[in-house]
Structure 1
Amino acid sequence: MDTLRTVTLDTIDHGPVTFDCPSWCIGHAWQVGAGIGRNDITHNSVRVKAGVDTESHGWLPLMNAWVTWAPFVELVPVVAVELSVQADFPAEDVTHLMSGLDTVQRRLAVVAAEAIRLRGEIT
């Protein structure tokens, strides 16, 4: 596994836990002082986003996705997905929405392919 740094986090169940961070991990500042357990330690990649510009609602975020890996729980990296739109659309906006969903599909495929590629670095 290609690593950039070693990190130590204080956990509520195992005290200080030291581990290697993979190169794609954005860091663990969000977990410092969060009262986490060892199994909560999670590597996250940058987020990939998709949205759509509609006439009726303006810009709407549709999706966030990222590679994530809890090394003390999961054998390999997985893909975290947040889908986030709920609205009533005039029929004219459905074409815009479908275009945005096509973008979601393409970007999810890229993130999934990256997660699969990263498996080779840890196995």
Structure 2
Amino acid sequence: MTRTVTLETIDYGPVTFDEPPWCVGHHGQHEIYRTDIVHNSVRVKSGTSTETKGWLPMLTVHIAWAPFRELVPVISLVLDAEGDFQAEDGRRISEGLVTAAMRIEAVAAEAIRLRDGIV
């Protein structure tokens, strides 16, 4: 079921558009231009636990689509892991990166599936 949403924009006034079912809403999108309207999916996170520094966030990835700026959905990716670690943490960090890569691939596959339904 597609919902219709209306947002007030600086350049076009009220803009009404269909919101895809995977969009989590447009909270916080105020005082924007029409091209700033973005559909965002749920954010998928990945990380690992290290012995010396505890939890290490590695990435956040989600599907994003600015329908007035982009033809199709894209993936929005933030890589978080940075720092110096004990050598003993290397295996856990490596395993965490493998998990992170699998999550990127899954989100990218879903974006491709959604894109194929649009174009």
Give the TM-score, by structure 2 length: 0.97
Q: Tell me the residue number matched to 1:95.
A: 91
Match of 2:26? 28
Deviations 1:92-122 (A, max 9, x none): 1011100000011000000000000001221
Is 1:63 the counterpart of 2:59? The answer is yes
Deviation of the 1:30 alpha carbon? 2.1
- For residues 1-123 of structure 1, the aligned pairs below 5 Å read 3-31=1-29, 34-123=30-119
TM-score normalised per structure 1 = 0.94
Deviation at 1:85, TM superposition (A): 1.7
Structure 2 unaligned regions, length at least 5? none
Deviation at 1:86, TM superposition (A): 1.4
Give % identity: 56
4+ runs deviating over 3 angstroms: none
Letter in 2 for 1:91: A
Secondary structure of the residue aligned to 2:112 is helix
Q: CA RMSD in A?
A: 0.8
In structure 2, give the amino acid aligned to 1:21. Answer: E
Secondary structure of the equivalent of 2:2?
A: strand
How far 1:29 moved relative to its partner? Answer: 1.6
Flag structure 1 segments of 5+ consecutive residues without an equivalent: none
| Counterpart AA for 2:5 | V
User: Structure 2: how far apart are the matches of 1:36 and 1:6?
Assistant: 18
